[in-house]
A and B are shown apart, each in its own frame.
Chain A
Amino acid sequence: MKTRRERPPFYGLMAEFDNPTDVVTAARAVHEAGYRRIDAFSPYPIEELSEAVGMHTTKMSLIVLIGGLIGLIGGYGMQYYLSVINYPLNVGGKPLNSWPAFIPITFETTVLCAALAGIFGMLALNGLPEPYHPVFNTPNFALASRDRFFLLIESRDDNFDRTQTAEFLRSLGPREVTDVEY
């Protein structure tokens, strides 16, 4: 998180909307207006919204793939090493490297590692857990998990100007626009 760097007086401007359509239109407008340090908040996932705030790819698939590969190689490798190299035992006349019998466990380790990679990847990319966040200072923000939709422009945005930006936001027809304190 941003420390030491002497921070602007307040975090940003938050516009509050009460239906998904408005917030998406607003977000698109803000983005077209050249704002980049923006974010929107909604009670449920809205594909259009994330695109509107300029998010087009998530790296999740890649992360999960890598995790899966690690599990795959690790799983089979472990079984091979332990039953062929480390302590070879004649088990019921089966070959030391009974590869067909090693498949189930390999599969399980693959899935396990993939899933773990995915979940921790998601948390990492989202910067979670993050119990404290400035946006929570927004007065009505509790409704972001109910039926309100919020659009945020951070004060650190290059084009940010307290008054003009606020004006611009109001022009998008929100219920209200509020300052988000640090």
Chain B
Amino acid sequence: MSTIDHPHDDVGIHVTPYPVIEPGHTFGSVTDKISALTLQRRTPLWWFIAFGISFALTNVLMFSIGYLVLTGIGVWGNNIPVGWAFDIINFVWWIGIGHAGTLISAILLLLRQNWRTSINRFAEAMTLFAVACAGIFPLFHTGRPWLAIYWLFPYPNTMNIWPNFRSPLMWDVFAVSTYATVSALFWFVGLIPDFATLRDRAQSRPFKIVYGMLSLGWRGSAKHWARYEALYLLLAGLATPLVLSVHTIVSFDFAVGVLPGWHATIFPPYFVAGAIYAGFAMVLTLTIPLRKLFHLEDFITMRHLRNSAKVMLATGLIVAYGYMMEAFTAWYSGSEYEGFMMKNRIWGGPYWWAYMLLILCNVLIPQILWAKRMRHNTLVLFAVSLVVGVGMWLERFVIIVTSLHRDFLPSAWAMYRPTIIDFTTFFGTIGLFLTLLLLFIRFLPVISIFEMRTILPQAEVKEEEA
């Protein structure tokens, strides 16, 4: 295991002024402080306010979906040729956001980035809730969700008909459901020891019982720990290719199509990068206010924020490269359709503004993160993360709508305009996301307690002479 101010276990090169955890903490202080967040009796007022708002939004979502199912896809702005719009945009956006969580908890674990420990639990939760929001759209964007919900699975039915395993949408079904399942289990496994901690700290019997059940009777046995650690590492190893595969497959939804603007081999890497980009943006958007509200500056230090900023900067550049390559291949291919698509996208067409905004949000503004001063200013980071979130949404808008609305035969060209319901559905999912998140930070440890213990100096076993 590692300790603080070790120069080279940091994504940065130079020696860092910021530790992963502020000095002076003991096993006890860490344990008590974090478990207090969930076990404390009174809930802070801001929590109720935030919860009220997001829960209201969730109800808006429920209404929108109910209305949609009763009336038909026509309540949205989708049309022919623009068969997909907000529905799939939101789906890809949410899935993308989910990626950061798995990345932090799995990939950084494999890379032995121990600074991750204070944010991974939280990021994983974010993953789960984002995937939950994303999952809404593939189902409800169908014309007949009441059938899609089970026809999409290969079960022995009386029609003797099976799904089409060649369809990227089918791949999505498997990818997303696998992703959701594995992340959930990964998350739960990570929680087991902390449940035990809470069980032992909880005052009231009901809490003891609930946390006791959830902890599955965990008692911190050395043998258990050994298997546990082994599994945790293996799961990380599985989750890493999984998370990459998920957004790769999502990008196949487009890359497999014949449509100019969709049919591009660069999509998988460029989508994955975009996903991480958006994901870290969301992590920052959430952690920055959170550490303030819960006074977690000791555990979520500037180092975390700064590293996230650096990851954003890096992935942002990859995404920018993606945009460049799209334009380049469009020109280089010599295909008149590709060429027109790009022209139409950038300055020729009616949706040029979307593309320009996208470049502004995803490519230009984030460059200020090169400046150390900016990276260390939480307000700036917060602002940039919001901007990137918007930018990544616009990216999907550009890819989906502007590619569809003018494709091969000019006679079929048309415009797309979203309706109120499109917006209520989208903002509704944000409400759902926040609702789940608030419940999480109120009732579960937002920081992995046992992992925090491991990064304390006193966690080390001092070996005397061999």
Contact = CB atoms under 8 A, between A and B. Distances in A.
Interface stretch (B60-68, B108-116, B193-201): B193-201
Interface residues of A, number: 68
B174 interface: yes
A13 B234 CA distance: 34
B245 A108 contact: yes
Main secondary structure of the interface of B (DSSP, over half): helix
B412 interface: no
Contact of A115 (B182, B220, B462): B182
B404 to A, nearest CB: 20
A45 B200 contact: no
Interface stretch (A4-12, A129-137, A156-164, A167-175): A129-137
A47 B174 CA distance: 37
B252 A45 contact: no
B235 interface: yes
A121 B234 CA distance: 12
B223 A39 contact: yes
B17 interface: no
B221 to A, nearest CB: 5
Nearest to B453: A44
Contact of B460 (A20, A43, A144): A20
The listed residue with most A CB atoms (<10 A of its CB), out of B216, B222, B458, is B222
Contacts of A122: 189, 227-228, 230-231
A123 B216 contact: yes
Contacts, number: 202
A104 B161 CA distance: 21
Nearest to A136: B219
Contacts of A153: none
A130 B217 contact: yes
A107 to B, nearest CB: 6
B27 A147 contact: yes
Nearest to B170: A105
A133 B227 contact: no
A14 to B, nearest CB: 12
B466 interface: no
B419 interface: no
B2 to A, nearest CB: 13
A165 interface: no
A44 B219 contact: no
A142 B199 CA distance: 9
Contact of B182 (A21, A111, A123, A141): A111
A123 to B, nearest CB: 7
Interface in B179-197: 181-182, 185-186, 189, 193, 196-197
B365 interface: no
B238 A115 contact: yes
Contact of A146 (B28, B222, B227): B28
B213 interface: yes
Nearest to A143: B200
A20 B196 contact: no
B176 to A, nearest CB: 9
B181 A39 contact: no
A149 to B, nearest CB: 9
Contacts of A129: 213, 216-217
A104 B216 contact: no
Interface string B401-420: 00000000000000000000
Interface string B205-248: 00000001100111111111111111100110011011001000
Interface of B: 26-28, 31-32, 154, 160-162, 164-166, 170-171, 174-175, 178, 181-182, 185-186, 189, 193, 196-197, 199-201, 212-213, 216-231, 234-235, 238-239, 241-242, 245, 249, 252, 450-451, 453-454, 458-463
* A-B interface, 6 closest residue pairs, ranked by CB to CB distance from nearest: A147-B27, A129-B216, A50-B226, A130-B217, A45-B225, A142-B200
6 contacts: A94-B166, A98-B165, A108-B245, A131-B213, A145-B193, A145-B197
Interface of A: 19-21, 24, 27, 39-50, 52-53, 55, 58, 60-61, 64, 78-79, 82-83, 86-87, 91-92, 94, 98, 101-102, 104-105, 107-109, 111-112, 114-116, 118-119, 121-123, 125-126, 128-133, 135-136, 141-147
Given A41-B222, A91-B166, A104-B174, 16 more contacts: A20-B460, A43-B450, A45-B226, A58-B230, A60-B231, A83-B164, A98-B165, A102-B166, A104-B175, A114-B238, A115-B182, A115-B185, A118-B238, A123-B216, A128-B224, A141-B219
